Amino acid sequence: MSASCEVYAPSDLKTALHLKSRYRDDLHVVAGGTLSVRLMSANAIETKNLMLLERLPLSFIRVSGRNVQIGAMTRLIDLIDNRLPKALVLAARSVRGLSIKSMATVGGNVFSPSPGCDVATALMALDAHLTLQSMNRKRSVPLEKFYRGPLKYSIRSNELVAMITVRNPPQYSTFTKLTPLPNSGPTIASVAIALDVNKREIVRRASVAVGGITTHPYRAKYVERFMLNKKLSNITLDQVEQGLVPKGLTIIKDANASSEYRERMVPVLFMRALNSLVKEVSRR
Amino acid sequence: MSSSKVNIIRFVLNDEPVEVLVPPTEILLNTLRERVNVKSIRYGCGEGSCGACTVLVDGKPRLSCLTLTISVDGRDVTTVEGLSKDGELHPIQKAFIEHNAAQCGYCTPGFILLLKALLDRNPNPSRDEVIDSLSSNLCRCTGYKNILEAAMSVVRRR
């Protein structure tokens, strides 16, 4: 870790964007610190300049009708809020312990690789969009298209993630994950499902995101298409299993689980998530 | 520009003002242990996995191994030394003693501070909420049962 780097702690977004524009990739950005400070301490990155985001006014949750706007600096603990889609609440709740929940931010989580991307997995199932802001421009990018490969993101060197928006989320959503600990813990695999059904429980909209097994979450498009126009309770595992983990993915392995185990757990988690939605829909 | 290059850091530690001169990338764990001489903050894993270095910043739990000292400029930092008032231990500390919730004691300050943060946020948590909240902290002596009993005894007394 360099002891001679310049440090900035801007209190307004304009100043932060000016610094990002000036230093570009030579500015290491720290949101909650759970990933960025760890990388610095491990000497995994060398930085000449440092920008702390925590004084920026980007910690907010705005719910307007069926739309939700979440500031990038909102802490995960603040997502445990009944006004938000259930998948998002469950994902935040599943993050290990009060300390990490109180430090980690939503904006940081979308950059975080597995096993630290639970909230990003839920957001992807909810079709979330990121607002990327630079000095002169603001643009919206679907989270799904934000990931261009392992640790490669669709963000320019002069931009910051300012806000995450979920527009008109499906009526039902859930998130489930497998961890080596009995309660919340590091993710081995996770599945988030969001869907709308009509009165006869026919699926009218479905999105399925898988997290924890690849560097970043992904959408199971085949499964989503298959679910459309099917009665929710009639969907079985053998119909969708092959589409949950498409061939060609590079599945991670770590001390918690092998890649084979991760892959095999995805269908199990999908069915757990689906069954919980079937029960929820039948209770309405 | 409202940004500032920060080297002199001022914060309130357990109701006492502190001023330290730190390199910009120093973590709070090292500042508290080496510059301020607060030894209740423990180095465990250095990567946010064990919770032994937990402190409260403005009443919220922070892992001091993942917190840059410059980020606490102007804030209130509480360590376990700051919980007792006028020589009287905090109820959580008393509960840990009553339930023999410390074995080697290395993790104890972190657990106590985390429990305080939880109870300040939610005065009446369920047992599952307590377990979930404390799950970011490790006890290598595996004394979780007594720690949980101590925690629940504090909840019941409220």
CATH number of the domain to which A157 belongs: 3.30.465.10
Cβ–Cβ < 8 Å for A88, A123:
yes
Domain boundary residue, one of A167, A191, A215: A167
- A43 and A80 within one domain: no
Report residue B78's pLDDT band, with 50, 70 and 90 as the boundaries. very high
H-only helix segments in A133-173: 143-146
Q: Does B3 touch chain A (CB under 8 A)?
A: yes
How many domains does one find in chain A? 3
Query: Is residue A1 in some structural domain?
Result: no
pLDDT by residue (tens digit) across B44-64?
999 999 999 999 999 999 999
Report residue B6's pLDDT band, with 50, 70 and 90 as the boundaries. low
Residue B2 pLDDT: 36
- A13 and A100 within one domain: no
- A276 and A180 within one domain: yes
Query: Is residue A161 in some structural domain?
Result: yes
- A272 and A214 within one domain: yes
Q: Which residues have CB under 8 Å from B39's CB, separation 6+?
A: B33
The CA distance from B157 to the nearest CA of chain A, in Å, is 22
Query: Is residue A100 in some structural domain?
Result: yes
- A257 and A206 within one domain: yes
- A33 and A70 within one domain: no
Supply the Cα-derived Rg of chain A in whole angstroms: 19
Q: How many CB pairs under 8 A join A and B?
A: 116
- A193 and A263 within one domain: yes
- Burial pattern A209-243, b for ≥16 Cβ within 10 A else e, equals bbbbbbbbbbbbeebbebbeebebeebeeeebeeb
- Strand, helix or coil at A39? helix
- A126 and A76 within one domain: yes
Q: Say what percent of chain B tops pLDDT 90.
A: 89
Report residue B1's pLDDT band, with 50, 70 and 90 as the boundaries. very low
Q: How many helices (H) and strands (E) does chain A have?
A: 10, 14
Residue numbers of the domain that contains A38: 6-52
- A195 and A137 within one domain: no
Residue B5 pLDDT: 55
**Nearest residue on chain B to A103, judged by CA atoms?**
B62
pLDDT by residue (tens digit) across A134-167?
999 999 999 999 999 999 999 999 999 999 999 9
Contacts with A184 from chain B: Cβ below 8 Å: 132, 135
Residue B158 pLDDT: 81
Report residue B3's pLDDT band, with 50, 70 and 90 as the boundaries. very low
Q: How far apart are CA A215 and CA A265, in angstroms?
A: 16
Q: How far apart are CA A39 and CA A49, in angstroms?
A: 15
Residue A183 pLDDT: 65
Residues of chain A with pLDDT under 50: 1
DSSP of A186-250: S-SEEEEEEEEE-TT-BEEEEEEEEESSSSS-EE-HHHHHHHTTSBGGG--HHHHHHHHS-TT--
β-partners of residue A161 are A132
Domain boundary residue, one of A141, A167, A193: A167
Residue A186 pLDDT: 87
The CA distance from B117 to the nearest CA of chain A, in Å, is 8
Q: Which helix (DSSP H) or strand (DSSP E) does residue A138 occupy?
A: strand A138-142
- Burial pattern A71-99, b for ≥16 Cβ within 10 A else e, equals bbbbbbbbbeeeebbbbbbbbbbbbbbbb
- A253 and A209 within one domain: yes
Q: Is B4's pLDDT higher than 70?
A: no
Name the CA dihedral angle for B13, B17, B19, B20, rounded to a multiple of 10 degrees: -20
